[in-house]
Structure 1
Amino acid sequence: MASARLIGVDGADAWQELLSAATSLRHELHRRPELGWSEHLTAGRIRDELDSIGVSWRACATTGTVARLAPDAPGRHVALRGDIDAMPIDEDSGAVWTSQHEGVMHACGHDGHTAVLLAAARWLAQHEEALPGPVSLLFQPAEEGGHGAKGMIDDGALEGVDVVFGWHNWPALGRGRMACPDGPVMSANGTFAVEVTGVGGHASQPESTRDPVLAAAAITIALQQLVARRLSPQTAAVVAVTWIDAPSNDTVTPATARLGGSIRVPDTTLRDEIFTMIAEVAESTARAYATTATTTTTTRYAATVNHADPAFELREALAPELAAAFGGNDPTPDIAVPVMASEDFSYYLAEVPGAFALVGAGDPHPCHSAHYDFNDELIAPVVRAYARLAGAPVLPAGTTDGEAQQ
């Protein structure tokens, strides 16, 4: 395990400059969000910043970037990841730096993750000769459902890497707390769609129709009972019907109706079992209404499962920084883990040892909300933690921004 060396407050001026630049960059990225696999402006800004601080990089998975420091150092090779894509949401955060791209916003904080990784790049570049081993910085596209991590891996992002670390801001966690367990930290997910086929006709003659809308409504209600009655009470799972579509008009019973949604489970095997249950419930319920149902399922991300030793190391790196930044609060999570959300960081953890942490600041608006904005207070402690993981010198954990300004 690499251990970071402390440096005195004589490096505080550089640290404060770094934090100011990271915050400004975060706001700049927030103004110019881009959807997955279309992050061309973002990729260009990342690469310009890396050029300006003298860090070598290569394009990876089109809009992704892999930067490398201390490539010839003899120690273990550490990879640090930040995702860069935004979401198709109209922003209503009220932030001065609100999105200038209509219908797109950084609703999940990837602008903050990118700013943190670039700040870490700047700090590591200033102390590159002290790094005990190579460090790869993974600026990854298309995390929001686009399997960007797989694209990065397929393009060689993990070549030579011994351990990989990542993090995600998590508004539901209290200030100064983190979730970084041994084992699952985030869930596997998948989606399903059910097409119900009946007999359409005039709404005044129900006896001549076989109503797929009624059947779809019954299927929706029945699916909500899967978790309560087909799984044990100790099993964490979510089955959510999130849409129903039956185009028609006021006097016409349509011939077809469709519904769909998503599932979240802590392990991949259970996902397959629930998919089977969904199909069984849909088919049998449709039959009771003299209709038929066809179910299509799609696997998305596997569970994000931490390896024990890297998880311990990530906790040890984050804990003192969060305590210093947020007043010494208890860093243990105040929410249940694994959380039901999913992450494509799971692809990395399936290839090499590593760990992923959720870091909270107690914000009122959740990720994926039009009102959400990344909390800039998280930048400093996570950059410090990344420096620790890379084995770089760091300022003492108790050094405040005020001290850094002196």
Structure 2
Amino acid sequence: MTWSETVAQAVALRHWWHRHPELSWQEEKTAGRIRQTLSQWQIPWRACAGQGTVARLAADAQGEHLALRADMDALPIQETAGLEYRSAEPGRMHACGHDGHMAALIGAAIWLKRHEGQLPGPVSLLFQPAEEGGHGAREMIRDAALEGVDCIFGWHNWPALGLGQALCPDGPVMSGNGSFHIDVLGRGGHASQPEATRDPLLAAAAITLNLQQIVSRRLPPQAAAVVSVASLVAQGAVTVIPDRARLEGSIRLGAPQWRGPINELIVQIAQDTAAAYGVRAEVETRSRYEATINHPNAAQRYRQALQEEFGPNCQDSDLLLPLMASEDFSYYLNEIPGAFALIGMAEPAAGAEGGGTCYQTPCHSPDYRFNDRIIEPVMRLFCRLVGLGTGDGGQRTEG
């Protein structure tokens, strides 16, 4: 199989996965197609963490053992993009490009298998379930996915970056996250007699406003953090003040040291504000993912490969890092050295007036569209990272 045929097969698999999206911890058909393809090319694999798969190449090679990772799960979103291969599953779609991540890794796997004897060290290929809040990386690690691995690399498509742009900084690239849940408990009653009630809605509104002071007044300006109240629910009526209200929201943090102070301030502010309004607040904070923090040596190695692929100026971007989005790739980087890159895919739309762009719709949008043109350069990046020549003449991807 030629390089171009390998790329074509990867793109075709991407379209199949896009038509058959599966949610976190439900990736049965997705895993089946991955394993079928690996077996077809005689690439040894084993199941890992249920729907996950770990494949290995050049297992007996004496050099550094590297790992490459792709996530597998889709999202509970109804697709509105009018693609020929749009989702065939109502209420589910690959709205984050994990189908493209799998395609790039399976394409690289096929090419690496054909040149397995040239690999300087073992290569593990991690197809991971449940990245979207399901802690899939944690479960892969618990099932020995990193056994013997010295360094790991991953990536995410990023629609806010143009095709030919890529970022892989030293240190934080994506933020940690968490959630908070606040029950405000008062005493309901008739809306015409507010003095006879203890209004949880009023207190909830005040808590919402006061929580905004955490980032603006209680943390140093150098701390990259977000505290967002995203939901306020109270079952009252036009003449009924309810007994309780519930607030829920999200935190984002660019470095792990801010999680404790932010959570403590959420509890303190909610409870003290509630007391000032004569009600009570019960607060729960939940940790999710830690910040994705690149190891400098691995990040430098990744940047070298990115520059070879996209050119020396590929990192010229005004995109601010760390992103406030989160990634469970952080679990891997907390265990072993490695790096994670953001790779752009926006480009001028064919025939667009005034330089319009396509593939720029944000991730998690029902109209999100993955750009197939980044599959081939990512395949080449993976080949470079594990020490194999690209095999296609090393052509550079231009934006």
Pair in the same fold by TM > 0.5: yes
- 2:377 corresponds, among 376, 381, 384, to 381
- 1:282 corresponds, among 240, 250, 270, to 270
Match of 2:23 in 1: 35
1:298 aligns with 2:286: yes
1:390 aligns with 2:398: no
1:256 aligns with 2:253: no
Secondary structure of 2:18 counterpart: helix
* Conserved? CA contact 1:301–1:342, under 8 Å: yes
Match of 1:350 in 2: 334
Deviation of 1:332 (Å): 3.1
> For structure 1, which segment, 97-106 or 135-144, has the greater mean C-alpha deviation from structure 2 after superposition?
97-106
Q: Aligned partners of 2:318 and 2:143: how far apart in 1?
A: 38
1:183 aligns with 2:186: no
* Conserved? CA contact 1:141–1:148, under 8 Å: yes
Q: Aligned partners of 2:220 and 2:335: how far apart in 1?
A: 31
Match of 1:213 in 2: 201
Q: Aligned partners of 1:204 and 1:217: how far apart in 2?
A: 20
Amino acid at match of 1:352: I
Q: How does 1:35-54 map to 2 (within 5 A)?
A: 35-54=23-42
Q: Aligned partners of 1:46 and 1:283: how far apart in 2?
A: 50
Secondary structure of 2:184 counterpart: strand
* Conserved? CA contact 1:127–1:393, under 8 Å: no
Match of 1:65 in 2: 53
* Conserved? CA contact 1:177–1:334, under 8 Å: no
Task: Give a deviation string over 1:251-272, Cα, whole Å, max 9, x none.
Answer: 2111010011111111112011
Secondary structure of 1:59 counterpart: strand
Task: Give a deviation string over 1:227-271, Cα, whole Å, max 9, x none.
Answer: 111122222111111111112322211101001111111111201
* Conserved? CA contact 1:179–1:337, under 8 Å: no
> For structure 1, which segment, 86-95 or 140-149, has the greater mean C-alpha deviation from structure 2 after superposition?
86-95
* Conserved? CA contact 2:293–2:330, under 8 Å: yes
1:225 aligns with 2:221: no
Match of 1:83 in 2: 71
* Conserved? CA contact 2:308–2:396, under 8 Å: no
- 1:365 corresponds, among 353, 361, 383, to 361
Secondary structure of 1:241 counterpart: strand
> For structure 1, which segment, 113-122 or 176-185, has the greater mean C-alpha deviation from structure 2 after superposition?
176-185
Q: Aligned partners of 1:299 and 1:400: how far apart in 2?
A: 39
Gaps of 5+ in 1: 1-12, 402-406
Q: TM-score, normalised by structure 2?
A: 0.94
Match of 2:325 in 1: 341
Q: How does 1:311-330 map to 2 (within 5 A)?
A: 311-323=299-311, 330=314
The change in CA–CA distance for 1:143 and 1:117 in structure 2 (over 3 A counts) is same
Secondary structure of 1:88 counterpart: coil
Deviation of 1:400 (Å): 7.6
* Conserved? CA contact 1:85–1:106, under 8 Å: yes
Give identity over the alignment, percent: 57
Amino acid at match of 2:335: E
Secondary structure of 2:112 counterpart: helix
Match of 2:353 in 1: none
Q: Aligned partners of 1:393 and 1:235: how far apart in 2?
A: 41
RCO higher in structure (CA 8 A, sep ≥6): 1
Q: Aligned partners of 1:49 and 1:244: how far apart in 2?
A: 47
Amino acid at match of 1:391: G
Task: Give a deviation string over 1:341-362, Cα, whole Å, max 9, x none.
Answer: 1111111111111111111123
Moved over 6 A (4+): none
Q: CA RMSD in A?
A: 1.5
* Conserved? CA contact 1:322–1:331, under 8 Å: no
Gaps of 5+ in 2: 347-358
Q: Aligned partners of 1:201 and 1:333: how far apart in 2?
A: 56
Match of 2:87 in 1: 99
* Conserved? CA contact 1:318–1:381, under 8 Å: no
Deviation of 1:396 (Å): 2.6
Match of 1:331 in 2: 315
- 1:26 corresponds, among 9, 14, 24, to 14
Deviation of 1:397 (Å): 2.5
Match of 2:235 in 1: 247
Task: Give a deviation string over 1:23-49, Cα, whole Å, max 9, x none.
Answer: 111111011111111100100010011
Task: Give a deviation string over 1:106-125, Cα, whole Å, max 9, x none.
Answer: 11110000001100111101
Q: Aligned partners of 2:305 and 2:249: how far apart in 1?
A: 38
Q: Aligned partners of 1:111 and 1:269: how far apart in 2?
A: 33
Secondary structure of 2:159 counterpart: coil
* Conserved? CA contact 1:245–1:258, under 8 Å: yes
Match of 2:128 in 1: 140
Q: Aligned partners of 2:235 and 2:105: how far apart in 1?
A: 46
Amino acid at match of 2:60: D
Amino acid at match of 1:397: G
Q: TM-score, normalised by structure 1?
A: 0.92
The change in CA–CA distance for 1:400 and 1:273 in structure 2 (over 3 A counts) is closer
Aligned length: 385
Q: Aligned partners of 1:145 and 1:177: how far apart in 2?
A: 27
